[in-house]
Amino acid sequence: MIPDTPLAAVLLDLDGTLLDTAPDMARALNALLTEQQLAPLAFECIRPQVSNGANAVVRLGFPDADAARFEALRARFLDLYRARLVVDTRLFPGFEEVLAQLDAHRIPWGVITNKPRWLTEPLMQQLGLYQRAGCVLSGDSLPVRKPDPLPLLTAARQLQIEPARCLYLGDALRDMQAARAANMVALGAGFGYIGAHDDVKDWPVTAWIDEPLDLLAWVGLSRGASRRAPQART
């Protein structure tokens, strides 16, 4: 299923794909629950909701909150999360080598997330990723967001790569829908925040990968290739 001609660009979802942000988002939710004199939730319960954003995480902790209370809780959750944005957040294991190889071989990569810019950019800056990325599009960078394909098409245009020569890696149905609609290779991140109730058999994936290093083959690289001399890519 890997194409004979290597793909030319790598586009990535953020939460649950490039970065393991669940520990810090779970900490913010449990801090909020504690403020509201409620018991904290188990990390294993929170993790699958992180890719669905702040609304899903807060709703998990406060399923019965009405609209007005929910909005106040959501605002407080975001304040708590922003205050401790990068405590335990890390690249998923293997991505350090993946990004090093992409950089060494001049293969452009970028991030397309539904996370708002005011969280996305400082998060990537604190981890030293923002300046390395060829493009970063957040949930409020454009009038629409995933599953609409426009953010992915915009990223391809910014990288000056045809969409059909790009792969998009994500861990949610909307990621795969956006990638397919943009005529990109849609890779599912099997290591991401996929819950037991996600009916992944119906997702329009091109293929699943079990770990970040598996995506290297799709751009014509192998593990450890960054030790070889860089090659220009067109």
Candidate list 4, 13, 103, 198, residue with the active-site label: 13
Percent of the chain with pLDDT over 70: 96
Residues 76 and 125 in one domain: no
Question: Residue 143 domain-assigned?
Answer: yes
- pLDDT for 123 equals 98
Domain residue limits at 186: 9-20+90-227
DSSP states of the chain: ---SSPPSEEEE-TBTTTEE-HHHHHHHHHHHHHHTT-PPPPHHHHGGGGGGHHHHHHHHH-TT--HHHHHHHHHHHHHHHHHTSSSS-EEPTTHHHHHHHHHHTT--EEEE-SS-HHHHHHHHHHTT-TTT-SEEE-TTSSS--TTSSHHHHHHHHHHT--GGGEEEEESSHHHHHHHHHTT-EEEEETTSS--TT--GGGS--SEEESSGGGGGGGGT--TTGGGSPP----
- Prediction pTM value: 0.93
Residues 75 and 94 in one domain: no
Concerning whether 24 is annotated as a catalytic residue, the answer is no
Question: Residue 219 domain-assigned?
Answer: yes
Of 83, 100, 132, the last residue of a domain is: 83
Question: Residue 162 domain-assigned?
Answer: yes
Overall domain count for the chain = 2
- pLDDT for 27 equals 98
Kindly report, residue by residue over 165-210, the tens digit of the pLDDT. 999 999 999 999 999 999 999 999 999 999 888 999 999 999 999 9
Average pLDDT over the chain, rounded to whole?
Answer: 95
- pLDDT for 227 equals 43
Of 54, 83, 112, the last residue of a domain is: 83
Question: Residue 140 domain-assigned?
Answer: yes
- pLDDT for 225 equals 58
Q: Comparing 226 with 81, which gets the higher pLDDT?
A: 81
- pLDDT for 221 equals 97
